[in-house]
Amino acid sequence: MFKFDHNNFNVTDLDRSLAFYKEALGLEEVRRSPAKDGSFIIVFLGDGQSTHRLELTWLRDWEKPAYDLGDNEFHLAFTTDDFPAAHKKHSEMGCICYENTAMGIYFISDPDGYWIEIVPER
């Protein structure tokens, strides 16, 4: 038997990413694992409701300004119980990157360009 545990996103600025995920989605840090030699920091974020975690990994020696995300066909998805309020908040944050009104969904983009789908509870 298997169950979901976490997904990982590599980030270029850990503090900026932590602030984004807290403001945009209400995610809170639940665990942090820094490398003894300072070469990486792993932070797990949770929503306070499910056991699923988002793992953010910061790598000290990453030299490129961003990660190659391809066509962003992979993504996380979050449901919200107040879709209009979520849309308004994300609109004000300027992080909505794609909307599909026919499907009733939209996507936000984090500071590193990862797409997160926002779906109303159905």
The model carries a pTM of: 0.89
pLDDT in tens, the chain (122 residues): 878 899 999 999 999 999 999 999 999 999 999 999 999 999 999 999 999 999 999 999 988 777 777 766 678 999 999 999 999 999 999 999 999 999 999 999 999 999 999 999 98
* Domains by residue range for the chain, with CATH: 6-61+74-120 (3.10.180.10)
Distance of alpha carbon 58 from the chain centroid: 14
